[in-house]
A and B are shown apart, each in its own frame.
Chain A
Amino acid sequence: MQLQIKKELDRLKGLGASYGDARWYPMEDAEQMVMINGNLKGNASSNESGIGVRVLYKGAWGFSAASDTKNLSAVFDRALDNARAASQRVTFPVRLAEKETLEASFTSPSKQDPFTVPMAEKVNFLADMDHRMDQPGVMQRYGILNFVKKQIMYVDSEGSQIEKNITEVFAFLQVVGMDNAGVMQSRTFRLNRTGLTRGWESIDREFFATQAERIVSELNQLLVAEDCPKTSGSVILKPMQMYLQTHETIGHALELDRILGYELAFAGGSFVTLDDFGKLRYGSEKLTVRANATVPNSPGSFGFDDDGVPAQDNLLIDKGILVGAITGRQMVEEANAKARKPIFQGSSGANRATSFYRVPIERMTNINIDAGNDGSLDDIVSKTEHGVVLEGDRSWSIGSNREQFHFGTEMGWMVEDGKITKVIRNSTYQGDTIKFWNSLSAVGDESTWELVYVSNCGKGQPNQIMQLGHGIPVCRFDNVRIGE
């Protein structure tokens, strides 16, 4: 098949294409099991295969995809036709940053293939967790297992040929109950990185049982808790909320396609401009952020992106100053040309597509915050006069240029005079992005740092759902509007 693809790419070059690549998925298997209140409501698996072809003609992209690969030439021809049509409206001809020509492969770390595990064992696991969550105070119980295994063969007209074999495991437990004011409350556990491999071995029954017990206990605390007060003070975010704060107001804001205006039709832009790189004080000196696609065992570590560029570890924010972005081959060339200076030294290897039938766009890898030296969560709480500790994303809404945000969390704890005084519910906070990150006053040490998995980041048109990660410590922000 790869030989056929190479021949087709050569043929298109003969027809005037300046570049082409193809991603052939011989197979992508997925399995999802959803148990709600003991009922296996969802029990689905799927198999996909097909090819996506991207062609550059006179500075314009064309893309075509098909599940049926019998008439391969037709798929390539449609991609070229689409590029020819697009070339009628070009304002900045697409150029691609230099890259190394590679013959390489990547396999995500996994010990036990989840697709070899008998269904009965998976069902038994969910039933066991459901039973453990079936406790007083719990009105609804959810357990979800998601497995994906895919093989991707990448070939481009510059001579690169890359094979990727990726296995993903996502798992989710949630309990829901009605509080004493008649409002639904929830507590959720999502599987994050627990080791250096991610196969069926990460579904550790004992560990999940502990988590099930924890979320039931915390839900029952919420059911009789007081509401989050409307106040101003410090917000201490644990990793299961801090990851989303980072995702929405650093990650998306620093996607170079958004910065350059390529997502204005839907997802939005960014308050960041090309002039800001190297100058903008994005956050306090305690803030150092990197896009690190080399972190072991994360959905945001994938070996090579869909431009065929190797995974990298790049600084985005260095001691509070904006220094980098999430980039692919096309956008760095355009940004450097528009800025009339070399802001970016080549692609950062972050151009990814969610499937063979979608085109690659800039996506987050692992957008991580370096651990700080402000100690443990307890240390940070002990040095906080008035505020809240929050975790568990419940709602999120962000301005179209990522300039402001409103978040709601599942769980909160009041902090007064250096001590946690009580559990609070219906917690929210909001702010302006730059002001908020500049109010960062404490960053937890390595003991607070967790690698959080994200299975459902949406972006682009047609919409694409992407998997990634965030390595995040506990952080504290001051003078935040809380409870509105």
Chain B
Amino acid sequence: MKEKILQTLRELRAHAVQQGAEVKISYHAEDSHLMRFANSAISLNTNEQLSRLEFTAFDGRKRASYEMISGLDDLPKLKQGIDHAIEMAHHAQALTYDPTIPLYKEDFSDESGFDAGLADLDNETRLSYFNQVAGGLETEEIKLSGIFSNGTNTLALINTRSEHTQYYCFTDCQITVVLAHSRLKWEVVAEQSAQKKAELNPAALHKRLALMLDLYQKGKPEQLPLGKYDVVFGSAATGAWLDFAQYIGLDGGEMKRGGTFLAEKDYGVKKFSDRFTLLDDATRMETFPFRRDYSGIDRGVFPIIEDGVFKSFVWGQDDADEFGVEPTGQSVMHLSLAVKGGQKPVNSLEELLAMPRDRDILFIPYIHYIGIVNPTEGILTGSSRFGALLLKKDGSVAIPYNVRFTQSLLTFFGDGIEWLSSETVPYNTSRSYGARNPTAIIVPRFMRVNDLEISHSNQSY
């Protein structure tokens, strides 16, 4: 299939060259499978096989793109798509800057993230995984929900500047398992992100859920008073805050447009805890990385924040063109964000529960529905979900109703950070509204932040 894809792209490129046009051609294919559970049943079992071709044509500074959901067989139809994009470009308005069409100097192919075992996973395996995770944990009142999503992504690029192609093919898997009390409405969760079949580990999720269920069934629920708490965020919560940091903090184009809480004057300034280091690390396979960006720039380890000091914005090609800066290799569908682990040898929920504590600790595993309150100040708001715990200094564990945080990212990742777990894990942040785009952020298993204020406290589950 790979050769057919590349050959088709070359033929389409030849057609564009014949028209005397400058054209970028992008092919994206997905084979997506989703088994969804609700009320302890499979509520939906789907698969989608979709391929998209996008043609971006240039006429000097004019630019236009045309996308088709289409197979590769109908070459005349695809050529019409190119013609359509060329025609659109003629009628577009010129940009105020010169858009770059990359010159690929060699063929590039990366299939290191492809795993045949994951690509060929069948329905029985998906169901068996869930049965193992949930085995013995469901009751009349405690119901299973969740998803098992896996798929294969293929991306291929060519343009009229050269005959060379870029080709990427990788597999991914995102698993969420929820056990919810149908009457009391509390929920606990266990999740896994995987890039290979061998990484699937239903036993770990079962163990996590069994422990959380035990705590929730025995623990006393409490409405927390508003005020400041020492908070331990789980990997999902940390990943969720960072996911939003991408939009309002790290992107150079957004910074120039005034939509970020970090500014050019912050280069080299300590803005965060010296325990906090954030990289765009395309060497980490768990992030489903693009190891070369669409402009042909090799991607490796790119420091964004080092020991709390802001090092650099990330610049995709188009914004770099517009604002006259050098692109930094982030013209990709998603970054490969990775937080460096810390020193604290607390790497499991059991270890967190057993840790001696001289103050109450609020454990927040997950943040639901984050809103951007004020991008200039980095203020986000979101509520806890999926199994918060109040670890009391007397060693007991209570169950807090959900609480809301409304704070700046400069506070979440600021000097209040007491410690980070020594181990890191991928947290899957995929949200495929259109084309499949698996994404994960590497985060410490736990991050403790002291004196964080909660702005709302629920009166019930």
Contacts and interface: CB of A to CB of B under 8 A. Distances in A.
Interface string B353-391: 000000000000000111111111100011101000000
Given A82-B46, A85-B42, A484-B455, A44 B66 contact: yes
B236 interface: no
B419 to A, nearest CB: 28
B96 interface: yes
A240 to B, nearest CB: 17
Given A46-B67, A183-B377, A67 B49 contact: yes
Nearest to B382: A397
B259 A397 contact: no
Contacts, number: 250
A84 B385 CA distance: 33
B45 A82 contact: yes
Nearest to B46: A63
Contacts of B47: 63-65, 78, 82
Contacts of B97: 39
A93 B131 CA distance: 19
A395 B46 CA distance: 33
Interface residues of B, number: 85
Interface stretch (B102-110, B140-148, B304-312): B140-148
B178 interface: yes
A180 interface: no
A49 B81 CA distance: 14
B50 A66 contact: yes
Interface string A48-89: 111000000000111111111010000000100111011111
B257 A265 contact: no
Given A119-B88, A461-B147, A86 B38 contact: no
A408 B373 contact: yes
A78 B45 CA distance: 10
A47 B182 contact: no
Which of B40, B71, B176, B373: most chain A CB closer than 10 A?
B373
Contact of B257 (A87, A176, A403): A176
B34 interface: yes
Contacts of B93: 35, 40, 123, 127
A463 B45 contact: no
B246 to A, nearest CB: 17
Interface string A286-322: 0000000000000000000000000000000000000
Nearest to A44: B65
B163 interface: no
A127 B368 CA distance: 39
A398 B371 CA distance: 9
A119 B57 CA distance: 15
Contacts of A127: 93
Given A82-B47, A269-B180, A45 B67 contact: yes
A342 B438 CA distance: 43
B69 A50 contact: yes
Interface in B23-54: 32, 34-51
B32 A85 contact: no
Contacts of B385: 268, 400
Interface string A391-405: 000111111110110
Contact of A430 (B40, B67, B456): B456
A260 to B, nearest CB: 7
B91 A357 contact: no
A484 to B, nearest CB: 6
B258 A140 contact: yes
B455 A406 contact: yes
A92 B455 contact: no
B43 A262 contact: yes
Contact of A90 (B34, B41, B376, B461): B41
Which of B145, B176, B456, B461: most chain A CB closer than 10 A?
B456
Contacts of A261: 38-39, 143, 145, 180, 182
Contact of A86 (B45, B81, B187, B402): B45
Nearest to B124: A85
B112 interface: no
A408 B50 contact: no
Contact of A484 (B46, B96, B376, B406): B406
Nearest to B72: A68
A40 B63 contact: yes
Given A264-B180, A359-B46, A461-B149, A400 B32 contact: no
Contacts of B180: 261, 264, 269
Contacts of A233: none
A156 to B, nearest CB: 18
A266 B42 contact: no
Contacts of A86: 35, 41-42, 44-45
A462 B432 contact: yes
B130 to A, nearest CB: 8
A11 B432 CA distance: 33
A465 interface: yes
A43 interface: yes
A62 B127 CA distance: 14
B375 A184 contact: yes
A139 interface: yes
A165 to B, nearest CB: 19
Interface string B296-328: 000000000000000000000010001000000
A472 B432 CA distance: 31
A201 interface: no
A67 B373 contact: no
A186 B73 CA distance: 47
A404 B458 contact: yes
B459 interface: yes
A384 interface: no
B39 A89 contact: no
B123 interface: yes
Interface in B416-460: 431-433, 455-456, 458-460
Given A89-B127, A140-B257, A264-B145, 11 more contacts: A40-B92, A46-B67, A47-B67, A49-B69, A65-B47, A90-B41, A183-B374, A400-B368, A401-B461, A408-B371, A461-B147
20 contacts: A45-B64, A45-B84, A46-B67, A47-B67, A49-B69, A50-B50, A62-B45, A67-B49, A82-B123, A86-B44, A90-B41, A178-B258, A261-B145, A264-B143, A264-B145, A268-B368, A271-B185, A357-B48, A399-B383, A399-B402
Q: Sorted from nearest, which 8 A-B pairs have the closest CB atoms?
A: A85-B123, A397-B371, A86-B42, A46-B67, A395-B371, A82-B45, A68-B71, A119-B91
Interface of A: 35-36, 38-41, 43-50, 60-68, 70, 78, 81-83, 85-92, 118-120, 123, 127, 139-140, 176, 178, 182-184, 260-266, 268-269, 271, 357, 359, 394-401, 403-404, 406-408, 426, 428, 430, 432, 458, 461-465, 484
